[in-house]
Structure 1
Amino acid sequence: MKRLKKFLLPILCVALFGEIYFYPFRSSFRFSAGIIVLNLIILISDPVSEFKLSLLSGMAVFLLRSTVDVFIENSSFQYIYQQNLPSGIYYVFYGALAVFLSIKKYQGKILTGILLFSAIDSLSNIVEALIRDGHVSFSMVQIIIMVGLVRSITAYIIYVLYKNQELFIQKREHQKRYSQLNLLVSDIQAEMFYLKKSMADIEKVMGKSYKLYEKYKDDRELQEDTLDIAREVHEIKKDYNRVLGGFESFLKKFETNDLMTLGDMKNIIEENTNRYLDAKELKNSICIEFDFRDNFSLKKYYSLFTVLNNLIVNALDACTSNGRIKVTQTSDKEHIYFHVEDNGEGIDEEIIPYIYNPGFTTKYYNDTGKASTGIGLAHVKNIVEELGGSIEVESKPGQGTLFTVSLPKNSLLG
C-alpha cells in the first residue's frame, strides 16, 4: 500500500496531462502531453522503478480515457477497447525500454538523455500505431520521431530549470547555515576574550594571596586561610582552562585554509543585519547601506566578521527612529579600511577614552535594566591589534559616530 501511494500522485499527473492532445502537422495521429510529465518524473524522482511507473501510468491513462468515453462520449466498449488499449500498451512498452536502456544513468548527460528519451518515445509510438492501425507510413514515422524529440527536449528544459531552482535553494540554505555559524564563532570568540580577561584577574588574585601567605608566616591561622584561598582560586583557574580549551578545540575545527571573498562576507553580514532588524522590529525605522569597493579573498574572515558585526550592532543600538547606517570598505596599496557610520545618539567626548576598556558600558537593557557586559569594543580592539591594525572613532553627541578600522592587507588576504 505504501508503495502504491508513492506512485499515486505521479500517475495521476501523467493521466491528467495525457488528456491534453495535439495533432502535429494536421496529422490524424494524436499526441498527448502525458509523456512529458512521465519523462520529468523519471528524471526527478530518485529512486523510482521506470517500469512500474510506466505500467501504472498506462493503466491510469486507459481507465481515465475509458471513463471519459463511457460517461461523456457515450462510446461503445468495442470503440473504447480499440482506441484506448493501444495507449496503455504504449506506456508498458515505454517502461520496458526505459529499464532496458537504463535511462536513469543518463539523466545528467543532457544530449544523450534527450536522444534516448526521444528514441524510446518514438519506438513506443510506432508500436502503438502498429497495434492500432496495423501499419505505419514513412511520413508518420517522421512525425513520430519529431514529436518524440520535441517532447524529450521539453521535459529536459523543465528538468534543467527545476535543478537550477533546487541548487539556488540549496545555496541559500547553505549561506544561511554558514551565516549562523559565523555568528556562533563570533560569539564564542567574544566569550573567550572575556574568559581570558578573567584568567588574568585570577592570576592576580592568586599572586596577592600567595604574597599574604609569605608575609604572615608568624600567624599560622592567617597563613592557612590565605593558602586555602590560593588553592580555591587555583581550582577556579583550572576550570577556566578547561572551558577555554574546549572553546579553542571547537574553533580549531573551523580554522582551515578556506577563503572567503569580501563580497560573500558582505552578503552574510547584510543578511544577519536584516534578521537582527526583523527580530527587533526595526526594519521600518533604520536604514542600513553596504558599499564594498573590492572583492579580495580573505583568510582571517572570522576575525573580520567579529569586528564588523560588533560595530554594526553597536551602531544599530545607537540609532532610534529614522536611523541611517553606512558600512563602507575601501583600500590602498597596503591597507584595507572599513568605515561604520551612524546618525545615532553619539558618544560624549569625555567618555571616548574609556570605550575600549573591558567592562566599560553605557548600554542598559530596557526590559531587564541590566547593563551590557561591556566587552564588545574591547574585543574589537583586541582583534584589530592582533591583526596589526588600528581603530579610530569620531563622534558628536546627537549627530552620530564613525568608526574606522585599518587593517594591513598581508594579515587578511589569502
Structure 2
Amino acid sequence: MIPHVILLVSITGLVFTYPFDGYFRFTLSVAVLATLLLYFQRLPVISISAAAGALILMFRVAIKYPFDETFVSTLIHNLPSFGYYLAYGLLFRLARVRDYTGNILALILLLSICDIASNCVELIIRWELIGRNLETVLTSVVAVGVGRAVIAVVGYYSLKRYRDFVLAEDHAARYADLIFIIAKLRAELFYLKKSSADIETVMEKGYTLYQTLNTANPGELAQADSPSARALAIARDIHEVKKDYYRVTRGIEEILKVAVSEEGLPLAEFFQIIEQNTRRYINGLDKPVTITFDYDGTLVTDKYYAIVSILNNLIINAVEAVEPSGIIVVSGLCGRGKLTLAVFDNGPGISPEEMELIFAPGYSTKFSEVTGQMSTGLGLSHVKNLTESLGGQIDVASRPGKTVFTVTIPLANLVVNGTGPHPNRIV
C-alpha cells in the first residue's frame, strides 16, 4: 500500500509548471498527496511525504542530469523540492489536518496554509525571493495553495463517496443473500414442524394400537415378541424421533430469532431483493433467459420470508423449464383484499397427467445430468404448504408455450400492525 502511494505521488510530481524564472515549480503531486493522506488515515504522514519527496528528487535528477552540466549541479537545483515535501508533511502532522475532515472550510484552510508555508520554505532555500516582487510571488503561491487544497478536498470526498457507494452495494447484496438463506431455513422449518405433527399422530396411533392389543390380551405384554409389546416399542421409537425433531426445530428457531427481527418489509423492497437475487442466479447460468418483474402496492408484511421462498421456488422452476432459453414474467398485485403473485414462463408446459402430481411431496421429473440423481421434489410442495399456512391458495394453468402459477393470499393475513395497501393502489 505505502509503496503504491509513494509511487503515485512521485509520478504526478512530474506534471509541473514554472511560475517564475528559475527552478521553482508548481506540481499536481501535492493535491494527490493530500488526498491520499486524508483518505487513508493509517498512512504515516511524515515518512510518506519524505519518501515521496525523495523519489521525486530522484526522478527529476534522472530526467534532468543528461541535459545539465554535472550531476552535482542537477542535484543541488532539485534538492529544495525535497525540503518542500518534508515541510509539508511536518505541517500536515502538526496542524492535525485529519481531525477536520468533517469541516470542509477548515480543511481547505489548513491544507492551503500547509501548502503556502511549504512553498515559502522552498523559495527561501532557493533564494528565489531575492530581487523579486514579493506581492506577485506570494499571490501566485497563495492562489496555487488554495487551488490545490480545493482539489485535494474534492478528491477526498469523491473517494469517500465512492467507498460508501461500494459498501452500500456490498451491504445490499449481503442483505439479499441473508433474506434468501433465512427464507429457505424458514421453509425447511415449516416442513419440519409439519412432519413433527405427522409423527405425533403416528405415535398416538401406535400407542392406541398397543392399548387395544394389551386390553384384548392382558398377559401378552410380558412376551417380548408379542404384538402388544412390539406396538409399544414402535410407539417409544417414534416418541424418540419426535423429540429429535423438536430439538432441531427449536435450534433453528433460536438461530432465526437471533439473525433477524420481525419488523415488516414493504412489498417493493423484498420484490427488489428477489429480482436482484434472480438476476444474479440467471447470470451465473449459461442460459439466455429474459425475465421481467412487475409489482406495485404499499403492503408492509412480516411474512416476507414465506413470500420470498414461494416466489424463489416458482422462479427457479420456471428458469429450469424454459429450455434452451425463454421468457419469464413475475408479477405482484395488491388489491381487492388479497396479494396475488404470478409466475409465467413460455416453457413446454405441464402434461395433464403430471398436473395432478406436481404438488405431491417427492414428485419430480428433474434429475442431475452429472450425477443422474432425481430432484427431491419438495419445491412445489413447499410452495403449497407455505401458501396454505398463510391462508392462501395456489393455482396453475398450463399448455405448451404457457405456464402460469398463481398464488393468492388474503391481505388480512399479511399486514403488520394494521398497515396495509393503499385503498386506491391497484395494479
* Category of TM-score, reference length = shorter chain: 0.7 to 0.9
Task: Return 5+ residue gaps in structure 2 as ranges.
Answer: 420-427
Alignment deviations for residues 147-176 of structure 1 (CA, whole Å, 9 cap, x no partner): 112212222222222222222222222222
- In the alignment, is residue 179 of structure 1 matched against residue 213 of structure 2? no
Query: Where does residue 244 of structure 2 map in the other structure?
Result: 239
CA contact (8 A) 2:302 2:415 kept: yes
Query: Where does residue 160 of structure 2 map in the other structure?
Result: 163
Query: Where does residue 44 of structure 1 map in the other structure?
Result: 39
- In the alignment, is residue 13 of structure 1 matched against residue 14 of structure 2? no
2:68 to 37, 51, 73: 73
Where 1:345 maps in the other structure, the secondary structure is coil
**Higher RCO by CA contacts (8 Å cutoff, separation 6 or greater):** 2
- In the alignment, is residue 103 of structure 1 matched against residue 103 of structure 2? no
Where 1:327 maps in the other structure, the secondary structure is strand
CA contact (8 A) 2:2 2:48 kept: yes
Q: How far off is 1:350 after superposition? A: 5.3
Q: How far off is 1:295 after superposition? A: 6.2
1:252 to 257, 278, 298: 257
Query: Where does residue 407 of structure 2 map in the other structure?
Result: 405
Q: How far off is 1:119 after superposition? A: 1.8
Aligned AA (2:239): H
Q: Normalization by structure 1: what TM-score?
A: 0.88
2:304 to 297, 301, 306: 301
CA–CA separation in structure 2 for the residues paired with 1:196 and 1:183: 20
Alignment deviations for residues 76-121 of structure 1 (CA, whole Å, 9 cap, x no partner): 524531x322211111111111111101112243332222212211
Aligned AA (1:42): L
Q: 1:139 to 1:116 in 2, by over 3 A?
A: same
- In the alignment, is residue 224 of structure 1 matched against residue 207 of structure 2? no
Q: How far off is 1:43 after superposition? A: 1.4
CA–CA separation in structure 2 for the residues paired with 1:336 and 1:316: 23
Aligned AA (1:312): I
Query: Where does residue 383 of structure 2 map in the other structure?
Result: 380
Where 1:393 maps in the other structure, the secondary structure is strand
CA–CA separation in structure 2 for the residues paired with 1:297 and 1:158: 41
CA–CA separation in structure 2 for the residues paired with 1:72 and 1:227: 104
Shifted more, 114-123 versus 358-367: the winner is: 358-367
CA contact (8 A) 2:295 2:331 kept: yes
Q: How far off is 1:207 after superposition? A: 2.0
Shifted more, 303-312 versus 177-186: the winner is: 177-186
CA contact (8 A) 1:90 1:125 kept: yes
CA–CA separation in structure 2 for the residues paired with 1:279 and 1:61: 47
Q: How far off is 1:12 after superposition? A: 2.3
Q: 1:66 to 1:368 in 2, by over 3 A?
A: closer
CA contact (8 A) 2:61 2:74 kept: no
Aligned AA (1:227): L
Shifted more, 269-278 versus 349-358: the winner is: 349-358
Q: How far off is 1:23 after superposition? A: 4.2
Over the matched positions of the two proteins, sequence identity in percent amounts to: 36
CA–CA separation in structure 2 for the residues paired with 1:296 and 1:56: 59
Alignment deviations for residues 195-223 of structure 1 (CA, whole Å, 9 cap, x no partner): 22322332233123212211222233322
Query: Where does residue 115 of structure 2 map in the other structure?
Result: 121
Query: Where does residue 391 of structure 1 map in the other structure?
Result: 394
Q: How far off is 1:194 after superposition? A: 2.7
Q: How far off is 1:14 after superposition? A: 1.8
CA contact (8 A) 1:69 1:75 kept: no
Q: 1:79 to 1:287 in 2, by over 3 A?
A: closer
Shifted more, 94-103 versus 387-396: the winner is: 387-396
1:63 to 58, 64, 72: 58
CA contact (8 A) 2:299 2:334 kept: no
CA–CA separation in structure 1 for the residues paired with 2:368 and 2:173: 28
Matches within 5 A, 1:311-322: 311-322=314-325
Where 2:403 maps in the other structure, the secondary structure is strand
Aligned AA (2:162): Q
Query: Where does residue 78 of structure 2 map in the other structure?
Result: 84
Query: Where does residue 3 of structure 1 map in the other structure?
Result: none
Q: 1:230 to 1:183 in 2, by over 3 A?
A: same
Aligned AA (1:183): F
RMSD: 2.7
Shifted more, 34-43 versus 71-80: the winner is: 71-80
CA–CA separation in structure 1 for the residues paired with 2:370 and 2:8: 55
CA–CA separation in structure 2 for the residues paired with 1:336 and 1:28: 76
CA contact (8 A) 2:68 2:74 kept: no
1:269 to 269, 274, 282: 274
Q: How far off is 1:127 after superposition? A: 2.1
Where 1:168 maps in the other structure, the secondary structure is helix
Alignment deviations for residues 342-381 of structure 1 (CA, whole Å, 9 cap, x no partner): 1112233455455434344444444444443333223223
CA–CA separation in structure 1 for the residues paired with 2:397 and 2:405: 7
CA contact (8 A) 1:194 1:375 kept: no
CA contact (8 A) 2:36 2:156 kept: no
Q: 1:194 to 1:333 in 2, by over 3 A?
A: closer
Where 2:395 maps in the other structure, the secondary structure is strand
Aligned AA (1:182): I
Q: How far off is 1:308 after superposition? A: 1.0
The aligned length equals 405
CA contact (8 A) 1:190 1:376 kept: no
Matches within 5 A, 1:128-143: 128-132=122-126, 133-135=128-130, 137-143=134-140
CA–CA separation in structure 1 for the residues paired with 2:376 and 2:124: 83
Query: Where does residue 212 of structure 1 map in the other structure?
Result: 209
